Chains A and B, each alone.
Chain A
Amino acid sequence: MKKVNRSRKGLSKVLTIALLAIIAVAAIGGVLYYTTLEPEETVLKVFCAGSLTLPFEEIETQFEADHPNVDVQLEPAGSVACVQKITETGEQCDVLASADYSLIPSMMMTTESDYADWYIIFAVNRMTLAYSDSSKYANEITADNWYEILRKSDVKWGFSDPNLDPCGYRSPMVIQLAEFEYGDDQIFEDLIVANSDITVLEEVGTYLIDANMTDLNPDTEHLTIREKSVDLISLVQEGGLDYAFEYSSVAKQHGLNYLELPVTIDLSSADCANLYKIVKIEKTTTTSTGKPIVYGLTIPNNSPNPELAAEFVRYTINEFGQTVFNNNGQPPIVPAIADDPTKVSQDLQSYVVEQTEVSTPELPALTLTLVALDGTETVLDETDIAELPAVEYDGGLMTSSGSIKSIGTYAGVPLSTLYNMIGGITNETTVRVTASDDYSMVFTYEQLTSGEFITFDPVTGDEVEATKPLKVVVAYFCDGEALEEGDGPLRTVAVGEDGLISEGHYWIKSVVKIEIREALQDWTLTLNGSVVEDVNRVSFEMRAQKNSANWTDDDSQLWEGIPLTVLLGRVDDNDSKTFNQTLAEEGYNITIIANDGYFLELNSTFIIENENILVANALDAAALPEKYWPLRLVGSALEKSMMIRNIAEIRIEY
């Protein structure tokens, strides 16, 4: 409450004394009268996290205006320190608000330390990328391409010191989580490892970032690290930095532009707690685990003014409070969520909803085999799967005969999490998912990265376009229950935020294997003789089944393909079915040309004399490795120098 200074007026001396006496009597009487009949000024003590100071000051002003006899006293401090004042120092407060809501259950709601019975989560903060209008590529940057922009050699960006500032240790976490979100396992490497001494250790499903060093040694050409995230603000404003990782609240309060990142990486959502926790960071002091930046509050059991405290909490979570938090870049949770609404003060119960628990799911026994591109197998069991970050989406399938089935809320592991554990995918690979009965489907890179699926309205069944890309999830729960026996224990589902229906053949039941495979690349071999024929990959492979030839090299590798004579036979004269022996005996020139223009000349008489010369398209039953791809001339009659690779054309000159 603001103190009022009264000024005194001077009067003539005589009158002054008399008046003073009268005034003094009146004043004393007045004060006595006042204190007897009016309630005493009440002090409402609020312990709050430092980052809540600005919004809480606004709430304080309004609250005091509406409650003239209450003096709200804010005591901002670190969230842990706030709690410890109650649990260790024995101080009393009316409202406790923490930047990490989980401190309330873990430090105040245990049997040894029983200082509260409930908590409410009411606002979040989010990790964002702050920038100014003059930042490079400011007009191009989006939530889909920001990591590509940070990769550019002419872009300078920064974050605060992980060892000194929570925003600083959360920044590398965001970058690590981005690898999952965008299906690109080089983001952390390119942005952090290449520009500093920070490293990351990857184990199955978890990432331990190592920032346990006093000098992080950033390459300041690209990356700047400052003590506090606010130190970066002026750098961005003055153009010394293009981008900086900041809390949305800080960016907003300083009037910077900021990019909203997906909730799966911006540490703002309690629903994604299982996802965030796969990232840990080791610092000089402690190791921190990724968790949502969610603000929580409670009224401690020993609050001196619990009813007024409830009124203050009401101001914090009602529409007024929501506006205040929005304006401060700390998006409110609407409605606020209580761990147990029945225990919350009576007056607040209509303002909160119940929290749905995010916990490690209990899965039936299962095995899932992941096969990397090089054939390496990783076998996961139910415990491994349960510990992987889970997502949850609504969806259902349409059968080929048009009926809509299996509508529900599906929980499970994104397929991307699984293939990223074994090397990730590129536009030259695909993912094959196989069921226990050998049913399989192949997902394309485009489907998996852009979520392009045909979708239908769940009510009308009409084909509609999704507004948000679909995700392929290896689901284990439907509506919170383990999948039915015939469907589970794991099933791929194509689902998304729109809750639309997708085509049933991608909903593979009883998934047992996920493989990354080379996408078949098309190529053409031009045969140029008396006629010209283009032989594509498919027709070459089919002809190779009919007219196969093979050769085993000194390393016991088996090369398979088509005899050169068969290919020559297709264009040596007008009969494509046979090789013209007579013509070949007369002698003509054969030029075998690689795709880089390198060539080899042979005479047809040499081909007749040496039978085992073939154009190989397979090595040990797989497509040729890139070095030789797509075709290589091999055979026992050839010197190694004659074994021309990357063949694109075979030409006959008579």
Chain B
Amino acid sequence: MRKLYFVLAAFFIVLLVSVPLFSIFFGREESEETRILKIFCAGSLVLPMNSVEEAFEAAYPNVDVQIEGHGSIQVIRHVTEIGDEVDLQMLADYELIPTMMYNELMAESNISFSDWYIRFAGNSIVLAYTDNSRYSDEVTAENWYEILRQSDVKFGFPDPLIDALGYRSPMIIQLAENYYQDNALFEDLVTKNFDPGFYAVELDDVTVLVVPELLNPNTEKIALRASSVQLVPLLESGGIDYCFLYKSNAEQYGVKYVELPFEVNLGSSEYDDVYQRVQIKFEHQRFGSVGLIRDGKTIYYGLTIPNNAPNPDLAIDMIEFVLSGEGKNVFNNLQHPIYEPSFTDNKAILPQELAALVETEDSD
């Protein structure tokens, strides 16, 4: 009797394994036609990923890579809430993957949308300008905040409600206030230029920057746009003198920039305790599924393959390409270095091809 169970079990296992193999085999056989690899990525990755797309399609002629850029939260929501089927998600804030996907179950299977991430790159924030910017011949890493204060200087950052760089920019200004011990900096650059006010509230050890429900900037001083894609043309046309950008994007756009101190630029994990003294709080809840608080912390990019990806095999090829193949060179050449090695939170369940490429991150 036990033997019969064993045989039956073995039979089922063989069946379970062979059906997908079978279909993959035949799938490959038939599909000399083009397959689509759909990637949703953070806006700040669009430029390098467009170049990666070209290189990847040259190496995999039967694959059509389709890249859509969104705010990082939207990259996730398109999968978890809007119902888009995506093969690979790449975000400017890796923590959104565990917080928004691990406990979110797919309606039909009751499986979570994702259960691992790979943290593959960092970034830092710089102050970009051009030769035509006011005081461009004077601006330095020491005086940039005084320059922004000049009454004839206009600067820009993305809308904090829309874009991660948008809420990171006011953080940078508050971190600068702390670092330079200039107590009126946030008030002079931000609070005074919004009506209703965009206030910094000091609570014990944390300064909370409260993004008002309605962001109504004094457009003589501050330009808010959806993202850096709309800010850079403004910078280049002289509509603004300065704007905050990710360092990688500043390099990719070829604009000049001032590097900010580590204590300010959100680029170095050594200063996480400094960053954590600033927090963003939204008065308006744009997404029902996302909380109102964002903590100051080091910028890390993360990626995952959602569990409902139609082409996970292609996504794995792409991740290998980016972490260790030609895609990595593309990123490095575009001044957005890929970590060597990258880190994961859950090596055990990572697809095998990828497990070899990453290390388990310190769980501190």
- Minimum Cβ distance to chain B for residue A563 (Å): 16
- For the complex, give the distance between the alpha carbons of A353 and B82 in Å: 42
B162 adjacent to A444 (CB under 8 Å) = no
- For the complex, give the distance between the alpha carbons of A469 and B289 in Å: 33
Q: Which of B83, B162, B195, B284 contacts A442 (CB 8 A)?
A: B284
Given A430-B214, A441-B286, A486-B82, are A539 and B226 also a contact pair (CB < 8 Å)?
A: no
Q: Is B27 close to A, CB under 8 A?
A: no
Chain A neighbourhood of B234, CB < 8 A:
463
- For the complex, give the distance between the alpha carbons of A454 and B71 in Å: 18
B286 adjacent to A439 (CB under 8 Å) = yes
Q: Is A15 close to B, CB under 8 A?
A: no
Interface-facing stretch out of B55-63, B196-204, B338-346: B196-204
- Minimum Cβ distance to chain B for residue A30 (Å): 82
- For the complex, give the distance between the alpha carbons of A525 and B317 in Å: 60
Q: Is B188 close to A, CB under 8 A?
A: no
- For the complex, give the distance between the alpha carbons of A543 and B210 in Å: 13
- Minimum Cβ distance to chain B for residue A293 (Å): 41
A400 adjacent to B229 (CB under 8 Å) = yes
Given A438-B288, A438-B289, A542-B210, are A462 and B201 also a contact pair (CB < 8 Å)?
A: no
- Minimum Cβ distance to chain A for residue B86 (Å): 14
**Docked complex: B82-103 residues within 8 A CB-CB of A:** 82-83
Q: Please, which residue of chain A has its CB at the minimum distance from the CB of B281?
A: A542
Q: Which of B233, B283, B287 contacts A439 (CB 8 A)?
A: B287
A486 adjacent to B285 (CB under 8 Å) = no
- For the complex, give the distance between the alpha carbons of A343 and B70 in Å: 52
- For the complex, give the distance between the alpha carbons of A499 and B335 in Å: 38
**Docked complex: B186-217 residues within 8 A CB-CB of A:** 195-197, 199, 201, 203, 208, 210, 212-214, 216
B208 adjacent to A454 (CB under 8 Å) = no
Given A398-B230, A430-B214, A505-B226, are A539 and B162 also a contact pair (CB < 8 Å)?
A: no
> How many A residues face the partner with a CB closer than 8 A?
34
Given A463-B234, A542-B210, are A400 and B201 also a contact pair (CB < 8 Å)?
A: no
- For the complex, give the distance between the alpha carbons of A398 and B77 in Å: 18
A536 adjacent to B197 (CB under 8 Å) = yes
Given A441-B286, A546-B203, are A402 and B229 also a contact pair (CB < 8 Å)?
A: yes
Chain B neighbourhood of A521, CB < 8 A:
196
Q: Is A437 close to B, CB under 8 A?
A: yes
B287 adjacent to A438 (CB under 8 Å) = yes
B229 adjacent to A542 (CB under 8 Å) = no
B284 adjacent to A400 (CB under 8 Å) = no
Given A463-B233, A536-B197, A538-B199, are A505 and B69 also a contact pair (CB < 8 Å)?
A: no
Given A401-B46, A505-B226, are A520 and B288 also a contact pair (CB < 8 Å)?
A: no
Q: Which of A398, A438, A519, A538 contacts B210 (CB 8 A)?
A: A538
Chain A neighbourhood of B285, CB < 8 A:
440
Chain A neighbourhood of B225, CB < 8 A:
454
Q: Is A573 close to B, CB under 8 A?
A: no
- Minimum Cβ distance to chain B for residue A390 (Å): 27
> How many B residues face the partner with a CB closer than 8 A?
44
- Minimum Cβ distance to chain A for residue B141 (Å): 29
- Minimum Cβ distance to chain B for residue A612 (Å): 24
- Minimum Cβ distance to chain B for residue A489 (Å): 15
**Docked complex: B204-261 residues within 8 A CB-CB of A:** 208, 210, 212-214, 216, 225-227, 229-230, 233-234, 239
- For the complex, give the distance between the alpha carbons of A397 and B321 in Å: 33
B208 adjacent to A542 (CB under 8 Å) = yes
- Minimum Cβ distance to chain A for residue B125 (Å): 17
Chain B neighbourhood of A509, CB < 8 A:
82
Given A437-B288, A438-B287, A522-B196, are A400 and B43 also a contact pair (CB < 8 Å)?
A: yes
- Minimum Cβ distance to chain A for residue B83 (Å): 7
Chain B neighbourhood of A462, CB < 8 A:
233
**Docked complex: A304-363 residues within 8 A CB-CB of B:** none
B197 adjacent to A402 (CB under 8 Å) = no
Chain A neighbourhood of B216, CB < 8 A:
444, 446
- Minimum Cβ distance to chain B for residue A177 (Å): 29
Q: Which of A439, A538, A539 contacts B288 (CB 8 A)?
A: A439
Q: Which of B46, B159, B212 contacts A520 (CB 8 A)?
A: B212
Chain A neighbourhood of B161, CB < 8 A:
505
Chain A neighbourhood of B203, CB < 8 A:
542-543, 546
Q: Is A403 close to B, CB under 8 A?
A: yes
Q: Is A504 close to B, CB under 8 A?
A: yes
Q: Is A399 close to B, CB under 8 A?
A: yes
Chain B neighbourhood of A486, CB < 8 A:
82-83
- For the complex, give the distance between the alpha carbons of A430 and B196 in Å: 13
Chain B neighbourhood of A505, CB < 8 A:
159, 161-162, 226
- Minimum Cβ distance to chain A for residue B351 (Å): 27
- Minimum Cβ distance to chain B for residue A488 (Å): 13
B163 adjacent to A400 (CB under 8 Å) = yes
Q: Is A189 close to B, CB under 8 A?
A: no
Q: Is A503 close to B, CB under 8 A?
A: yes
Mark contacts of B161-185 with chain A using CB atoms, 8 A cut-off: 1 yes-contact digit, 0 otherwise. 1110000000000000000000000
Query: Given known contacts A503-B226, A520-B213, what 5 new A-B pairs fall within 8 Å (CB)?
Result: A505-B226, A520-B196, A522-B195, A538-B197, A542-B203
Instruction: Give 30 A-B contacts (CB < 8 Å), ordered by A residue.
Output: A399-B68, A400-B43, A400-B70, A400-B227, A400-B229, A401-B68, A401-B229, A402-B46, A403-B69, A430-B213, A437-B77, A439-B286, A439-B287, A439-B288, A442-B284, A444-B214, A454-B225, A463-B233, A503-B226, A505-B159, A505-B162, A520-B213, A522-B197, A538-B201, A538-B210, A539-B201, A542-B201, A542-B203, A542-B208, A543-B203
Could you list which residues of chain B lie within 8 angstroms of chain A, going by C-beta atoms?
43, 46, 68-71, 74, 77, 81-83, 158-159, 161-163, 195-197, 199, 201, 203, 208, 210, 212-214, 216, 225-227, 229-230, 233-234, 239, 281, 283-289
A-B pairs with lowest CB-CB distance, top 6: A438-B288, A401-B69, A402-B229, A400-B227, A401-B43, A539-B201
Could you list which residues of chain A lie within 8 angstroms of chain B, going by C-beta atoms?
398-403, 430, 437-442, 444, 446, 454, 456, 462-463, 486, 503-505, 509, 519-522, 536, 538-539, 542-543, 546
